[in-house]
Structure 1
Amino acid sequence: MSLKFDPDDSLLNASWATVLLSERDVAGQVPVNFVTTSAISLRAACFGDNKFERSAAEKCLSNLIAVGYRRFDIDLYWSTEVRQWLLCPVSIPQNMHVVTASPDATPTSTAAVSEGTVTAEPDESSDRLLYELGPYQCSDDFDLPDLLDVFHDYFKVTNSDLVIYLRYLSLNLHVAADPTSPDKPASTVTGEELPIGTERASYVMKDKLGSYIYDPHQLFEDRRDLNDSWYGVDDAYKPIVQYFTIEQDAKGVQSTPDGWPNPKFIQLAAERRMLVEYGSVDPQLDDYDLSEENEVIFSPGYLTTTVQVSAADDGSGDSGCIYNADETDIASVNASWAISNRIPLPRNLSDDQTLRYISDLVINLTACGITPTLNDTLFGDTADNTPDPYRNLTLSSSWAWAANQPIDPTVTSDSADSDDLRCAVMDLPDDGHWHTANCSMTRRAACRIDDQPFRWTLSTDPLSYADAYNNACPRDGTAFAVPRTGLENTYLYHTLLSQSIDLIDPSSDDPLLHEVWIDFNSLDVETCWVTGGPGTTCPYTSDPDQLERRTVLVAAVAGIVICIIAALTLFVKCNANRRNSRRNRRVMQGWEYEGVPS
């Protein structure tokens, strides 16, 4: 039986659909290589107990998808015995005598493998066997197609524009150990032992998810003629061209040697949902020719630029932050596919303190333009059994709104102002996170310089939101704008801090001095945040009730809208020289922390 997308019901919460949708949409035209996300090692999150059971893996992967992880590092093991890509590090025994334990037998952690005999137990959740192989317990016939079935089912049930999010896979290739020697390194695989034809990982990926994958060939074709690809769609789906190099031939055809499409193009125009790369490849597979694999899978490391980062004891970044006040050119701020290296977990802390430390680090890395990667099994438990700590961390990778924001005008206690809480400001005491505000208030406005992502200035006069859009920005080449990524947000925040105290003062009690308009509003539909000024319409529907019904219904069924817990009030400092806020306290500590379930 195929595995399904089947997360825990407790994770299916649509309360914060607006947060996810608005953050996805505001970054929708930034090339995907500059959009940070949340990444996790499947080995650590689902198999940290060395138990590779199909039903548990189904639940674990479903939970990780449901709580919002977008990128998965997956370890695959080629078994020369069963000629399959397994999730278990040891090959499933073939042509050996299997001693089946009684159903109520207590599992052991060590295999009884000797002289051609192996112990197995019935898998209580299926009709399969669970083999005891050294330190591992492995379901028979648990392989790559099973894993992809979960993604396939998830894609089928999340086919609304409101809930489509890109996923990324990084496949690390290994050789499965011999079942008679499960603790010893695997042998080198050569010649006919190597995968061929339909056994190749690329074939399996194409067979299971081919219609959902944006592949290397599509990227090559799109890059060679931008006029007919990324430029040939609706304006809302076109990329922000300042992020990549553009060349033009004598016939006027534009191309790019290094550009990537933006999420809106991939998700909504090309109707694709996934990108796949090879990560690491073990020396035992040196003869495996990956050049034949590039039909649907990118070459090793193509979607990865590892950034060596380190962290202080409080979870703030000591080094590796991509933000640099002295560098504002895209060519100098190399954040393309930036992903953190593994950060060791702190010692001598309680579970709650450890989770808060990691959360602060995730917040910090995201603000620095780096995708944080979780490579550890949290507190010795996997996400099928205890998903809450894993959920708390992926929530920390959200970068835009402050705690309890955006305020829902329909439930605010101040009914007199409820209809006007439809515009967004950057709040400096919240270290650059966003708040809803009355659109008729007067504030200064954030202005982007020459369409450059990391160059900002501030309007000199305070105006209402509508007037700010029309004539706030001080000179030619500047325009009222909104940050579209965590790194853009950090650059704007630091730009504002550098302004004269007469214009900006984060320590002031006067909102005029610590709030700044950004071009983001929900004036058309209260649950739909858009950029482009007060006249911009919601791209999904003009009926607010319909939008709300669709958002809640699809999210509840699909389980992909995450509850952003009252979180992320302030950024932690990106560098040691980050300015203190009004309260002279460490930032991003004020979120409603759930702690580690007992």
Structure 2
Amino acid sequence: MLYITGLAYTRFTLVRNTMPLNWGQLYPYDVYGIRSQRDLTLNVSMNQNVWPAVNLNSVLFDTLNYTYDAMANIPALVTRGASRLFINLYWNSKKNQFQFCPFVEDSTSNSTVTDSPNVNDLIFSYQNRVYACNSTMTVANFLQDIVKNQVILPTDNNLWASVIILTFNLRSPTVAQIANARRKNEIFKRQDDEGPVTSDLVSASSLRAATSTSTSVATTTTINPKSNLGVQIHEVFGDYAYTPSQLTIDRSVTGLTWNESGISNTGWPLLENVLFKTLHRILFSFGEMDIGLDVYDTSVDQDYIFDRNDIPYSGTHVVNYDASFSSTELSEIASPVCSFNNMTKINISGTNITVPPHWLLAQDSSNLTFTADSIRKYLQCGFSPVLNATIAPINSMKEYVISSLSAARWSWAPGQPTEISNSTATAISAGGVVRRCAVLTSSGWQVDNCFAKYRVACRVAKSSYNWTLSDKSVTYYNAPTHCIGDSVFSLPRTAVQNTMLQLLRNNEVDNEPIWIDFNSIAQPNCWVSGGSGAQCTYATQHRILIEVVVPAVAAVIIAVLLARM
């Protein structure tokens, strides 16, 4: 089976046949926007990054049911930028293990297990509605068949790899009756606009070598579903999982962990260390707990699953989206929904909430769903949006997810980056056009002509949030030399840094763009920082070299396309 991941197609084997919805392909600007934002945040500690999140129960399962087909949509969410997933686990006291179905059979009911859309699905009736639950899905099945084999392994290469946080909410199931067989078709009436369909199948052979540096092989391991969660995680993921034990080791080494103030033995490692140096792909944490320690003792998992203090899930780190965050007074970035206190605390406007700038969450609800504008306002304050609304019909749910995850990219403006690629050797005269350099505008980052003249974003050395602008407007190629004193040509690497630079831009140049240190001069669609001479770390086939030749009369710019050996 082929699973579509934007512009790349990865071939792998599924342990079970599943039928996900057709989410469509990503646009090129989605693919390059997601990848470039990942790359520019590699030098940021894990706790200061933004983690766009989806509550799987609210968004997916309540609409699509608790089945393998519904689970098979999770890879599409991750491909589109979801990096944190919340999921409910329900403790079945009879089986002495967790399950994904929110119901257990009413023992007093005279109903019997009836015909269902799938031989392994039970149909429950609850509050005048019916739900399908797969009776064979265990936590180990989910971790292995869905998360590892469909999310981690197909993307285990430097182009597509990302770190995912999976948060478990531990709950008690609801007693419900098995539905009469005549009610099973109600499940499909909720899916009146589109049922589960398979993704388009295309040949991956020609793209495989260009998009992957590793081979993905689906795995099957027999795991006791009654084992504690930590043991199941270890048996499925091994070193793929970054654990509390590893964090303790990292914090014992000076210089490996950071917070908003710098190096700290209570901070977190940089994303680059976790993802590309130690090759971890996933973290697990506990969220809400409706069951007591007498039912399930979470301390047995402390070496594998982060507790709620390590990676917050609620409390003062969560703001519920309400109308006050979309009022007219907050429509301009000059009046953001938060204020900053020396960057050690963030004050939320209209509330008494003051929080440190890490692991911040903002969640919506079915009554008031996120808009693209409200998501951007939260991002300006460093909050990660949590999609938490139950929406029907299915097409509306898909649009809600797609638009929200697209808006959750705090860097690029909508529809960006879009560049003009030079595929052949081209002579470029002074004043020519090379659309390979990034500017900060009022709507976000955009691709612009590297020969255009704008003022330059200069970050004050040893200060993550203090910016200045160059006195003169210059081309991108001359930008580094116009950051004077202890400032350097740079770019924002967090959403909050971007907010601080945006405020400065608004105050000093109004609607004019400013240069930031991000370009794809070396290779089309490979965005890097480090000035015009920065190398692309992915591709080694071609590079466009800009050579400045100064004759007696005028300067001539020559672009030479070189084939690398």
Equivalence for 1:351: none
2:552 matched to which residue of 1? none
Where does the alignment leave 5 or more consecutive residues of structure 1 unmatched?
94-112, 183-195, 231-238, 247-255, 347-353, 507-513, 546-598
Matched, 1:527 2:544: no
CA distance in 1, matches of 2:394, 2:228: 29
Aligned pairs for 1:261-340 (under 5 A) are 261-286=269-294, 288-304=296-312, 306-308=317-319, 310-312=321-323, 315=326, 323-324=338-339, 327-330=341-344, 334-340=356-362
SS for the counterpart of 1:533 is: coil
Distance 2:81 2:478 in 1: 37
Counterpart of 1:296, as a letter, is Y
Normalising by structure 1, report the TM-score: 0.70
Deviation at 1:57, TM superposition (A): 2.2
1:145 counterpart = 2:140? yes
Q: Point out the more displaced range, 37-46 or 283-292.
A: 283-292
Asked if the contact 2:519–2:528 (Cα under 8 Å) also holds between the matched residues in 1, the reply is yes
State the 1:11 CA deviation.
Answer: 2.7
Which one has the bigger strand percentage?
A: 2
Which of these residues, 40, 44, 54, is aligned with residue 54 of structure 2?
40
Q: CA RMSD in A?
A: 3.3
Which secondary structure does the structure 1 equivalent of 2:268 belong to?
Answer: coil
1:6 shift after superposition: 6.5
Match of 2:85 among 72, 79, 103: 72
Q: Decide which moves more: 56-65 or 19-28.
A: 56-65
Distance 1:174-1:132 versus aligned 2 partners, 3 A rule = same
Name which of 160, 168, 173 aligns with 2:170.
173
| Counterpart-to-counterpart distance in 2, 1:435 and 1:421 | 10
Task: Name the structure 2 match of 1:89.
Answer: 102
Task: Please tell me whether residue 226 in structure 1 is matched to residue 254 in structure 2.
Answer: yes
The one-letter code sitting in structure 2 at the alignment partner of 1:152 is K
Matched, 1:435 2:446: yes
CA distance in 1, matches of 2:322, 2:382: 15
Q: Report the number of matched residues.
A: 461
> Residues 482 and 316 of structure 1: is their aligned pair in 2 closer, same or farther, counting only changes over 3 Å?
farther
The residue that corresponds to 2:191 in the other structure is none
Matched position secondary structure for 1:528: coil
Equivalent residue, structure 2, for 1:253? none
Contact 2:358–2:382 (CA under 8 A) maintained in structure 1: no
Do the aligned residues in 2 keep the contact of 1:362 with 1:397 (CA within 8 Å)?
yes
Say yes or no: does 1:206 pair with 2:234: yes
How do residues 18-417 of structure 1 correspond to structure 2 at under 5 angstroms?
18-49=32-63, 51-52=65-66, 54-91=67-104, 93=105, 113=106, 115=108, 117-125=110-118, 127-135=119-127, 136-148=131-143, 149-153=145-149, 154-178=151-175, 198-226=226-254, 230=256, 243-246=260-263, 256-286=264-294, 288-304=296-312, 306-308=317-319, 310-312=321-323, 315=326, 323-324=338-339, 327-330=341-344, 334-342=356-364, 345-346=367-368, 358-378=371-391, 380-381=392-393, 387-410=398-421
Determine which of 495, 507, 515 is the counterpart of 1:498: 507
Deviations along 1:372-399, whole A, 9 cap, x unmatched? 1111112x2458x952321111111012
Alpha-carbon contact 1:451-1:478 (below 8 Å) kept: no
* Between 8-17 and 315-324, the greater mean CA deviation after superposition: 315-324
Instruction: Report the equivalent of 2:492.
Output: 483
1:473 matches 2:486: no
DSSP 3-state at the match of 1:120: coil
Alignment deviations for residues 293-319 of structure 1 (CA, whole Å, 9 cap, x no partner): 112100124212623355437835989
Change (3 A) 1:447 1:214: same
- Mapped partners of 2:164, 2:19: distance in 1: 17
How far residue 137 of structure 1 moved from its aligned partner, in angstroms, is 3.3
Amino acid aligned to 2:43: Q
In structure 2, relative to structure 1, the CA distance for the partners of 1:288 and 1:128 (3 Å cut) is: closer
Q: Relative to 1, partners in 2 of residues 1:415 and 1:309: Cα closer, same or farther, differing over 3 Å?
A: farther
**% same residue:** 25
- Letter aligned with residue 519 of structure 1: D
CA pair 213-381 structure 1, distance change in 2 beyond 3 A: farther
Between the aligned partners of 1:11 and 1:335, the Cα distance in structure 2 is 35
Distance 1:395 1:31 in 2: 23
Residue matched to 2:220: none
Q: Using the alignment, how far apart are the partners of 2:20 and 2:79 within structure 1? A: 6
Distance 1:415 1:45 in 2: 52
How far apart are residue 15 of structure 1 and its match?
Answer: 1.9
In structure 2, relative to structure 1, the CA distance for the partners of 1:146 and 1:337 (3 Å cut) is same
| Separation in structure 2 between the aligned mates of residue 460 and residue 528 of structure 1, nearest angstrom | 29
The verdict on how the C-alpha distance between 1:119 and 1:51 changes in structure 2, with shifts beyond 3 A counting, is: farther
Structure 1 residues 198 and 287: alpha-carbon distance in aligned structure 2, compared to 1, 3 A threshold:
closer
Paired AA for residue 248 in structure 2: F
Counterpart of 1:404 in structure 2: which amino acid? G
Q: Structure 1, residues 71-98: CA drift from partner, whole Å, max 9, x if none?
A: 111110011112221111223x5xxxxx
* Residue aligning to 1:105: none
Residues 262-284 of structure 1 show CA distances to partners (whole Å, capped at 9, x for unaligned) of: 22211111111111110111144
Deviation of residue 67 (structure 1)?
2.8
Higher RCO structure (Cα 8 Å, ≥6 apart) = 1
User: CA offsets per residue over residues 231-272 of structure 1, 9 Å max, x none?
Assistant: xxxxxxxx7x573453xxxxxxxxx33211122211111111
Q: Indicate the SS of the match to 1:390.
A: helix
- Between the aligned partners of 1:133 and 1:168, the Cα distance in structure 2 is 32
Once residues 382 and 267 of structure 1 are traced to their aligned partners in structure 2, the CA distance between those partners, rounded to angstroms, is: 34
1:420 deviates by: 1.3
- In the TM superposition, residue 68 of structure 1 has moved relative to its aligned partner by 2.5
* Structure 1 counterpart of 2:358, one-letter code: S
Normalising by structure 2, we get a TM-score of: 0.74
